[in-house]
Amino acid sequence: MGTGQSVTFDDLDQLVVRLELGTEASELHGSLCGFLSGGGHFGGQGVLPALHLEEGKAPTATDLSLLSRLRQESAEALSDPEFAFQLLLPDDDAPVGDRADALVEWCRGFLGGLGLAGSRGHGDLSEEAREVLRDLGVIASSDLDRGDEEEDEASYTELEEFVRVGVLLLHAELAAGEPPASDTLH
């Protein structure tokens, strides 16, 4: 992977396996996005310590660089006025069931990261944002049914877009006024 490229799901998946983190790549990205959306502060620590994911093998300098880039890219995408934010999930050529499971893991991670951020403003959320938060909780605790593959594909696409837009809404309401989540420490 070149240094000019964005971090991909596969990059993150390989990192999770290499470091034996005991989580899935989608859940890690969801946790990071939840932490950022909740206005979490890294306090000079890196992604893994902030998300309480220090088990497994020690990250190399290359791993730390990838995590730092992921953090920066995620923070920028969440704040992008063009709504460029995307969930890091398996590619469209993966079976829809695997992508649905990853979406559930992503939502679970997002809610956990939001909790780690110590969000103060949940009571101040709009009714729409509170509803999104409830819906993400339902998705995170779901075992999505499988049926007709074509219908599953359409349902998955709608659900992924709902989560993406919902996360942007929550980020806008919870992280408003927070300083950018950038620093040079890993």
Res. 2: pLDDT tops 50: no
Domains of the chain: 9-174 (1.20.120.740)
| Average pLDDT for the chain | 87
The model's pTM is 0.89
Q: Mean pLDDT over residues 16-38, rounded?
A: 95
Question: What average pLDDT does this structure show over 62-88?
Answer: 94
Burial label for 50, CB within 10 Å (0-12, 13-18, 19+), is buried
CA-to-CA distance for 77 and 179, rounded, in angstroms? 15
Q: What is the pLDDT of residue 179?
A: 43
CA separation for the pair 173, 167 (Å, rounded) = 10
| Euclidean distance between CA atoms 16 and 14, whole angstroms | 6
112-158 pLDDT, tens per residue? 999 999 866 566 889 999 999 999 999 999 876 666 777 888 889 99
Q: Which two tokens stand for residue 80?
A: 């992008």
Nearest to 184 by CA among 79, 68, 54: 68
* pLDDT level of residue 93 (50, 70, 90 thresholds): very high
